[in-house]
Chain A
Amino acid sequence: MKYVLLLVVAAAPLLAHHSFAAEFDSKKPVELKGKLIELEWVNPHAWIHMEVTDASGKVTKWECELGSPNLLMRNGWRRDTLKKGDMIVVSGSQAKDGSNMANARSVTSVDGKRVFNAGSSGDPGTPGALTQ
């Protein structure tokens, strides 16, 4: 499957309403390829719910945190930017508690749509990163 990389590390960084470091581990990067179940368009964070199928055919559900809808809209997203069934790749950081949850840094779609930076916080080096 060919993924078209149109993704943006946005000009306007998106930050959570909470500490990134308390919840996500920048040392546990994930790249999730799978099918969108729902783009949940709610504050304080929009969420991607997706199913990831591994090589053996096993399906795993993941939840990926985005910025708030307002910030996403200022970066070009709309609530219908992604539709159920869209194949996407989400890059981000996994939750520290080990659950199938990630902070999305970027989202790539396969159909040529423009999809923007999704991250609700930054890894070290990006604005929004709070490091100690």
Chain B
Amino acid sequence: MRINLSAAALITFLSAPLGAQWFDQPTKGIPRLPDGKPNLTAPTPKTADGKPDLSGIWLGDQWAPAGRRPNPPGGGRGGGGRGGGAPEMLPWAQKVFNERRDTSLRDDPEARCMPQGVPKASTLPYPFEIVNANGKTLILFEMYSLRRQIFTDGRELPKEYAQPSWMGYSVGKWEGDEFVVHTAGVNDQVWNIDLAGHPHSDALHITERYKRVDFGHMDVQVTIDDSKTYTSQWNMPVMRYTLLPDTDLFEFVCEKNVDPQHMVGK
């Protein structure tokens, strides 16, 4: 049982430049090469307070059409963008996971236009935008128009959650050049925390470490801590992202879905 990350069969017969296919909205103020293309390997930008600036529109490397970094040694494109890792599960979780894999994730509510949770929403083939706001960092997801708010005003995670939610409750702070986000309060309607189909409980605590390694690339290390589901804390493979310059997020309302009636699984 494995996730196929191979891209060997992907052959481009015609590859028109992505920017030219969008609606001619060049991103202002970004470093560019002499030919006008965005310089994705320029230095990491900073905010006014000297911290790395994470803002921008990002897409997982496994989906990014251009500009992504070479594959990591021994890994496929994007590594953990597909979720996964090989955590040791408690018996109930292993049973659930096996059932999901045996039915090709047929029952994933995403197929019925329901929201995804953290970090799965960041692993999909749609971009998201990170926005620096006053006292919070926002992540706007194109798919299903979801959003996360990560409080950066110094508050701690609540002890209890009166209203568990799909995206949970998130607080963030800087540790060196990494933006560290802690998330809890995820509801039980989040079916899988990654594309591999891993389950969770109300004990789920997610730690994300965002690092913008240069202008056009960002790494996110995700650690899963859920003692009711897994025997120990585990790391997903590092998720790698590439900046999508000269584009905008678009509305995405899941308005007409006919797939579930045809999803037979195996």
A joins B in a complex: yes
Chain A interface (Cβ < 8 Å from any Cβ of B): 6-19, 21-23, 40, 42-45, 47, 65, 68, 70-71, 73-76, 95-97, 99, 101, 114, 122-132
User: What DSSP secondary structure best describes chain B's contact surface?
Assistant: loop
Q: Nearest-CB distance from B245 to chain A (Å)?
A: 13
Contact between chains at B126 and A70 (CB < 8 Å): yes
Partner of B250, one of A23, A70, A75: A70
Q: Does B173 sit within 8 A of A, measured CB to CB?
A: no
Partner of A22, one of B6, B104, B257: B104
Q: Nearest-CB distance from A100 to chain B (Å)?
A: 11
In the complex, the chain A residue whose C-beta lies closest to that of B8 is: A125
By a CB distance below 8 angstroms, the chain A residues around B258 are 47
In the complex, the chain A residue whose C-beta lies closest to that of B62 is: A127
> Can you give 22 contacting A-B residue pairs, CB < 8 Å?
A10-B12, A12-B65, A18-B108, A18-B259, A18-B263, A19-B108, A21-B104, A23-B106, A23-B262, A23-B263, A43-B254, A44-B256, A65-B259, A73-B21, A74-B22, A74-B65, A76-B16, A114-B14, A114-B16, A126-B9, A131-B3, A132-B1
Q: Nearest-CB distance from B152 to chain A (Å)?
A: 29
Q: Does B182 sit within 8 A of A, measured CB to CB?
A: no
Partner of B14, one of A8, A13, A14: A8
Contact between chains at A95 and B262 (CB < 8 Å): yes
Contact between chains at B10 and A9 (CB < 8 Å): yes
Number of interface residues of B (CB under 8 A): 56
Partner of B254, one of A14, A22, A44: A44
Chain B interface (Cβ < 8 Å from any Cβ of A): 1-16, 18, 21-22, 62-66, 77, 82, 101, 103-106, 108, 110-111, 113, 124-126, 142-143, 195, 247, 250, 252-260, 262-265
- Cα distance, A22 to B1, chains bound together (Å): 15
Sorted from nearest, which 5 A-B pairs have the closest CB atoms? A125-B9, A18-B111, A12-B65, A22-B106, A21-B104
Contact between chains at B105 and A22 (CB < 8 Å): yes
- Cα distance, A128 to B250, chains bound together (Å): 21
By a CB distance below 8 angstroms, the chain A residues around B22 are 73-74
Contact between chains at A99 and B262 (CB < 8 Å): yes
- Cα distance, A97 to B262, chains bound together (Å): 6
- Cα distance, A76 to B23, chains bound together (Å): 10
Interface centre among B6, B18, B259 (most CB of A within 10 A): B259
Q: Nearest-CB distance from B102 to chain A (Å)?
A: 8
Partner of B63, one of A15, A65, A68, A95: A15
Known pairs A22-B263, A97-B262 / 5 extra A-B pairs, C-beta < 8 Å:
A8-B14, A22-B265, A95-B262, A127-B7, A128-B63
Q: Nearest-CB distance from B63 to chain A (Å)?
A: 6
- Cα distance, A8 to B125, chains bound together (Å): 18
Contact between chains at A70 and B142 (CB < 8 Å): yes
By a CB distance below 8 angstroms, the chain A residues around B77 are 127
- Cα distance, A76 to B17, chains bound together (Å): 9
Q: Nearest-CB distance from A81 to chain B (Å)?
A: 12
- Cα distance, A122 to B106, chains bound together (Å): 16
Q: Nearest-CB distance from A69 to chain B (Å)?
A: 8
Contact between chains at B3 and A130 (CB < 8 Å): yes
Contact between chains at B263 and A11 (CB < 8 Å): no
Contact between chains at B125 and A71 (CB < 8 Å): yes
- Cα distance, A42 to B259, chains bound together (Å): 13
By a CB distance below 8 angstroms, the chain B residues around A73 are 21-22, 250
Contact between chains at A19 and B104 (CB < 8 Å): yes
